[in-house]
Amino acid sequence: MRRQLLHPVGGEPVEGVVHRLGAIPAASDAELAVRVRRERSGPGEVAGALTDGRLVRTFAWRGATHLMTAEDAGTYLSLRAVSRMWERRSWQSHYDLAPSDWPPLRAAVREALADGPLTVEELAAAVTAHRRFAHLGPAFADRSATILKPFAWQGDFCLAASPPGRLAFQRLDDNPRWTGVPDADEAGPRAVEAYVAGYGPATPGQLEYWLGTGLGAGRKRVHRWVAGLADRLATVDVEGEPALVRREDVDDLRATEPASVVRLLPGHDQWVLGPGTADPHVVPPARRTPVTRGANLVVAGGVVSGTWSVAGDELVVAWFEEAGPPPHDELVREGERLGSLLGSGVRITRVG
């Protein structure tokens, strides 16, 4: 809980919170996910960090959009690009693009964005003006945005501000905080250590889930990067299962006392997405479905122990029976804090 800035709540700026978590899903309540981890915060701070370039929004884990710091984004995008799926035969056939077409296509995209952000329609018009790419209009218009994602993974652009439901793009190299996309074997160990720092103790399976499957880096690469960090990582035993922590965190981990603190988190919070909703230490297996579907989370002692919802000024907690008696006083205190973050007078009216 302390590593995730949940107990005690941290004093990090917006970008510090996102850096600690690695990334935050853009489709979730990203602002609340950040604000519950900050002692002092105000509405609109995440949007402000996107506007001034401290954060970037781009396609990353499982093809979805995520918020990352400008400094960290290249590390994760490098791993996302390592599969080079645009070179697969299925891609070549479907888009009528050979691997040799991608360098000039990427150059055309960057050139189109040289004077500032463009909507996807404007970008498509500029790119399809090139004879070789004239056939790509339907691909750019596809709501899945599949053909657009490799440009993001290779650092050609990120998502720009746009109305809900619309896509717009801007160059990443216009952001002075952007550090480029490093080689995967430079990025990989960095990403492993960052994950272990924020989510450890982490099992090999969780690392494979986060980096191998989530970013498409592959199981073998992840294992190789872990092996190369033998001098920086240590193995601890968690209920009979080996898990990794940074060596510098071992003493701190052993000295940490259990905490029963209650936190109200938004749905799809990184507390559950980071280790994965299949982790029984965090999500009771019988409750995995609502957590995966994005229910707002009541976390007690680090374990998902209920869900919450707001209707008007009423905050209703659905406490899981198997979690034992609900801690009413702590729920009320955390409900008051949530109300202050939401900017409303919500209060807990029912726990059941």
**CATH number where 128 lies:** 1.10.10
Query: Is residue 23 one of the residues assigned to a domain?
Result: no
139 and 200, same domain (yes or no) = no
Residues 57 and 159 placed together within one structural domain of the fold: yes
Alpha-carbon distance of 242 to 254, in angstroms, equals: 15
Structural domain containing residue 243: 184-255
User: What is the DSSP annotation of 251-308?
Assistant: HHHHHPPP---EEEE-TT-HHHHTT-TT-TTTS-GGGHHHHHTT-EEEEETTEEEEEE
Say if residue 59 is in the same domain as residue 148.
yes
**Domain count along the chain:** 3
Output the pLDDT for position 346: 79
Mention every residue, 6+ apart, whose C-beta is less than 8 A from residue 308.
264, 296, 297, 298, 315, 316, 317, 318, 338
Q: Kindly state whether residues 163 and 144 are assigned to the same domain.
A: yes
Question: Do 300 and 218 fall within a single domain?
Answer: no
Give the per-residue pLDDT at 163: 86
33 found inside a domain? no
DSSP annotation of 69: E
Same domain for 274 and 341, yes or no, is yes
Q: Give domain status of residue 10, yes or no.
A: no
State how far the Cα of 133 lies from the Cα of 68, in Å rounded to an integer: 31
Pair (158, 231) in one structural domain: no
18 located within any domain: no
* pLDDT tens per residue, range 102-141: 999 999 999 999 999 999 999 999 999 999 999 999 999 9
Annotate 81-122 with DSSP letters as a single string: HTT-GGGSHHHHHHHT--GGGHHHHHHHHHHHTTTS-EEHHH
Q: Do both 110 and 203 map to the same domain? A: no
Helix crossing, 219-227 with 184-199: angle to 10°? 80
Whether residue 16 is contained in a domain is answered as no
Instruction: Looking at the structure, tell me whether residues 251 and 303 fall in a common domain.
Output: no
User: In this structure, are residues 233 and 202 in contact, taking their beta carbons and an 8 Å threshold?
Assistant: no
Residue 148's pLDDT is 97
Pair 263, 299: CB distance under 8 Å? yes
* Any domain includes 310: yes
> What are 306-330's pLDDT values in tens digits?
999 998 889 999 999 999 999 999 9
Structural domain includes residue 288: yes
Which residue is it, tokens 């294992």? 223
* Residue 204 belongs to some domain of the structure: yes
Over 90: is that where the pLDDT of 247 sits? Answer: yes
